[in-house]
Structures are given as C-alpha cells and as structure tokens.
A and B are shown apart, each in its own frame.
Chain A
Amino acid sequence: MASPSNIVQGMSGSGGRGRAGASAISRASLAPFYLLGPAYLWLLLTIFLPLSAMLLFSFLSVAPFGGREAEFTFRHYAAFMDKEFYRTLTWRSLKLGLDVTFWCMVIGYPAALALARHVPGRWREALFLLIVLPFWSNALVRIFSWTMVLRGGGLIDQSVQVLWPEAPSLGILFSYPAIVVGLVHSFLPYMILTCYLSLQAIETSLEEAALSLGASPLTVFRRVTLPLSLPGLLVGVVLIFVPVIGSFMEPRILGGPEGIMLGTVIEDQFTVVFNWPLGAALSFILLAIVLLLMAIAAPVLGRPLAAATGR
C-alpha cells in the first residue's frame, strides 16, 4: 500500500536512508562534481570530442592536413547511397551480425539453461568461470588460434587424414563460415553470461508453483522460464550484434579475401587508402545503425546498467 506514511518510511527507512542521510551531510556541496570531474573530462576528450570531430570530418572533401584546403561536402554520404558496393557491404556486415547472433542464441541459451538448472551447485560456479574466462582473454589471440584448427592441413584435416589418408582438404580457413565460427567463439560467452544471469534471477519457487498448478515441465519452461529470462537473451543479442557488425580484425584474419566487410573497408580508409573523410562517413553510418538498434533495445538494456550503477 502506497500510503503517504509508507513513502516517508521509504525515504527515512532502510531503503533510501543512505542517500537522504548522505545528501544531508553534503547538502548543496560541490563534492560530487569534483569527484566526477576528472573521469568525465577524460571521457570528453577521448570519446565525445573524437566522435564530434569525426562527424565534422565526414563532411569534409579531404583531410585538412599538410596545408590542404577542405571543403564542406555530402559527397561521402552520397557515395554510400549511390554505389551498389557500399550497400552490399553493409548488408554483408548485417548478415554476419545476424548469423553470429543466431548461432550464439541457439547454442548459448541451452548452455545457460543447463548451467542454471541442471548442474549441481559446487560445479556450477567453476563451470561458469570456465565459460566466461576466455571472454576476458585476448580476442585477437583467440581468433588467431582458429587458424590452427581451420587451415588446410590444420587439426581438422589431420584428424580426418588419420582415418582416410587420401581425403581432400576440409580446411575452411579464408571463407565466410570460418569468420562465423571465429566470431561465435568470441561472443558465445557473452550470450551464456547474460542468459545465465537472468535465469539465475528467476526464483525457483515460481517454477515450482507452476508445476504445482499442474503444468508439465515443458509448459513451465514455455510459460514461465522462457518469458522471464527473455530480457537476458535480448541483452545478449544486442551486445553481440553491435560489435559483430563493427568487426574488422576477425574477418581479416579468418576470411581472407572473403572477409571484406564494412569494418574492413573502414579500416582500409584509415590505414591503407588514407581517405579519412570517407572512413569517417562510413563509421558514422555504422554508428547510426548501432544507435538505432540501441534506441530500440534501450528499455531492456537500461535496466541492467541502472542496477549496476545504482539508479
């Protein structure tokens, strides 16, 4: 019951008392801004100013270095619209994102379910750690390790040739599937992590209640467990899809000539072709796609972050 007295208790009682108390001590003080200043100045210099500079850059005809005069132009954005190449490229990156996310979902959710529901407690923590561990090890090195396995004459080929020496090479290195395998390997732990956390948060008594009401285990999963764990799945989807469409190192190493994506083309603009304004424009188109996705997913994404930072 939300009576006025309850609201007061909420503010002076255990829940909100901390903030009320702390703010009373430091009322009208500038302390929080001194504390936040250094961190946010840093972020301003390294995130927000660069993004603004790049937006500006994407409208310049040439990079304004070495005395060159730059003019304001929509040319790079127009190029994106006109040329079939860029649209194909964007579609390739999006398709890669969809494929990788799909496989992460299909493999990751059941794995998370198994971990959360069918692994005894003392094993669960260790297994969870084992799954998350690779995620925090070097991404580049992990992608590199797949070249050992996927290359012609690599582990797969050699295993097969032990049984059938004349077998043709099955090496799939430098192909689209190789990129997908490498990226799924990179991001699968993310999906398992987010799904597992939201599955863990479901009170088992809810599932027990559904069983006691006569629902079969499958119905319980369909009507209780799955809907309640959906936010975790969705967070996983966004957190995988976004970096995958911006990937360039993985397609480069595992895809070879097949690995041309929006990301690799942007990389080339900055490191090989030195057409920075075009690179900036392509980066911004990528960013626009990302922001659009985030805006759609914001209600779901906001909650875990809010929980973590305290709002």
Chain B
Amino acid sequence: MAPILLRSVLVLVLIFLYLPLGVMAVMAFNQSPLYAMPMVFDTIWFERLAGNERLVGAGLNSLAIALANTAIATALGTMAALAFQRYRFRGATLLQILLLPPITIPWLIIGTAMLVLFFWTGIGRGLHAILLGHVALSLPYVIVVVGARLRSFGVTLEEAAATLGAGPWTTFRRVTLPVIAPGVVAAALFAFAVSFDQFVISYFLAPPGVSTLPVEIYSAIRKGFTPEINAISTVIILVSMGLMLAVARFYRFGGER
C-alpha cells in the first residue's frame, strides 16, 4: 500500500518536472506565434532563430565565456584541490569555509556586489567582468569535485611512484593527473554548465548592447515573448541536459576507470 503511494508520488514528480519543458519544446514547433491549437508543425521558429543576429551573437558570447570559464576554473580549482588534499597547513579549514559564500549567498547579492565594485574600481561591466564572476561561482564546485576524486585515491599511488624514483612533477604528470582525470573532466563539464546557464551575475554585469544568451532571453521575455524564445530555450535545455548526462557518466563510472 505505502510503496504504491510513494511510487506514484515519484511518477507525479517526474511529470511535474518534465511537463512544462515538454510543452515548451512542442510549442517551438507550432506554426502559430500565438500558440494556437490545433497545432501545425513547422520549423519556422528555428529558421528565424538562425537569422536572429542578437540571439546568435549572445549565444556566441555565452559559449566563449563558458569555454574560458571552464579552462580557468578547472585549472585554478584543481590546483586548490591538490593543496587541500595533499598538504597539511594552517588555515586550511578557514579557507574551505570561505568556499561557502559563492555557493550559498543568493546570486542577486553577489551579482549586485560585483556590479558595485567593478563599476567603482574601473574594472567596469562587459564580457570580462561576466567571466570574472562566472569563475568565482565555478571554483567551489571544481574544488569539491576534484577534491573528492583526489581523496578517494589517497596518496598511496603517489607514494608508490616516489619509491620507484619519480620526482614530484613526474608523479603529478604520470600518476596523479591520469588517475584523477575523470574527476577533472566532470569538474570541467560542471564549470561549463554553471557558466552557460548563469543568468543573474551576467544580467548585472552586462552593459547595454552586450549580453549572453540568458540575459537576452530575459529581456525578450519581459518585452513579450515570441516562439523564437521557445526554440532557443529548447536548444539550451537539450545542450545543458546532454552536458549533465556526460558529467554523470564521468563522475559515476569514473571510479572504476
């Protein structure tokens, strides 16, 4: 009795989670801009999308920032994770607590605070400022994900490499890095997703005329939406979900690799 009830909750939850996404995706193929029924299948909105320079430009900005963010956050985060997992030093606990604010303070506060400081100091707004913000948000995730992988392997393999005559750098290159590679890849995909989906920070740091995809979509929604937004949103959802499926693969099955 109880199991059946619980299982139906689970089914309803899945319907609840995917229903609006499904509706949105289907409506992207509706010829009528007013979402009129019965539906007439058409790919016109995807074609319009390809010709929409603002959206395409914003999409390219999003992509460029996400890629740069991935490279920077993965490198800096992996270095920090190594420090936490392989060295004992004063202040380590405090430094780890300092990773909490970027994850837990509402983005609205962080975003407006960055706006204030960047505007004030002359760093200004723009893609560079957005990148600065995205890396800050991605770093804690990279440190946690790579750190978990480093910890699960312990130091025995590195010790073994040392007894075999490998110096610290050789050990890192030939043992540590290959072994934690799945964790690093997962962290990189995470960082990409964090940046590609990030709206709030980008919104406050984007000057007029420059925007990322989510910022462009937000202003389009506020102006009154069009099915083009459905089309681009459908693309975004598919990209992010595909990305997270890749993360799941690396993160879960990485252990036995």
Contacts and interface: CB of A to CB of B under 8 A. Distances in A.
Contact of A53 (B21, B82, B117, B204): B117
Interface in A14-34: 17-19, 21-23, 25-26, 29, 31-33
A127 B21 CA distance: 17
Interface residues of B, number: 100
Nearest to A306: B96
B69 to A, nearest CB: 11
B106 A50 contact: no
Nearest to B76: A39
Contact of A18 (B156, B162, B200): B156
Contact of B197 (A107, A136, A155, A192): A136
A246 B133 CA distance: 18
A248 B87 contact: no
Interface string B162-203: 100000100000000000000000000000010011011001
A23 B139 contact: no
B79 interface: yes
Interface stretch (A83-91, A145-153, A164-172, A225-233): A145-153
A150 B114 CA distance: 35
Given A22-B88, A136-B197, A144 B221 contact: yes
B3 A118 contact: yes
B64 interface: no
A42 B89 contact: no
B144 to A, nearest CB: 5
A148 to B, nearest CB: 5
A252 B116 CA distance: 23
Interface residues of A, number: 101
A134 B17 contact: yes
A114 B221 contact: no
A142 interface: yes
B233 A145 contact: yes
A11 to B, nearest CB: 11
Given A50-B113, A129-B245, A131-B14, A140 B217 contact: yes
A32 B218 contact: no
A141 B116 contact: no
Nearest to B106: A246
Contact of A137 (B9, B19, B168, B240): B240
Nearest to B101: A47
B24 interface: yes
A308 interface: yes
A150 B108 CA distance: 26
Interface string A211-224: 00000010000000
Consensus secondary structure, chain B interface: helix
B199 A309 contact: no
A contacts with B: majority SS: helix
A147 B229 CA distance: 12
A22 B132 contact: no
Contacts of B7: 114, 118-119
B65 interface: no
A185 interface: yes
Contacts of A210: none
B86 interface: yes
B63 interface: no
A139 B104 CA distance: 16
A249 B200 contact: yes
Interface stretch (A1-9, A73-81, A201-209, A276-284): A276-284
A242 interface: yes
A309 B146 CA distance: 9
A309 B84 contact: yes
B126 to A, nearest CB: 14
A183 interface: no
B102 A43 contact: yes
A276 to B, nearest CB: 6
Contacts of A115: 10
A42 B104 contact: no
Interface string B135-151: 11001000110011001
A146 B106 contact: no
A49 interface: yes
B119 interface: yes
Given A23-B88, A53-B116, 13 more contacts: A19-B155, A47-B113, A113-B6, A119-B10, A133-B241, A137-B197, A138-B233, A140-B197, A144-B233, A147-B225, A247-B106, A267-B108, A290-B104
Q: Considering the complex of A and B, which 5 residue pairs feature the smallest CB-CB distances, nearest first?
A: A246-B106, A114-B6, A50-B113, A18-B155, A46-B136
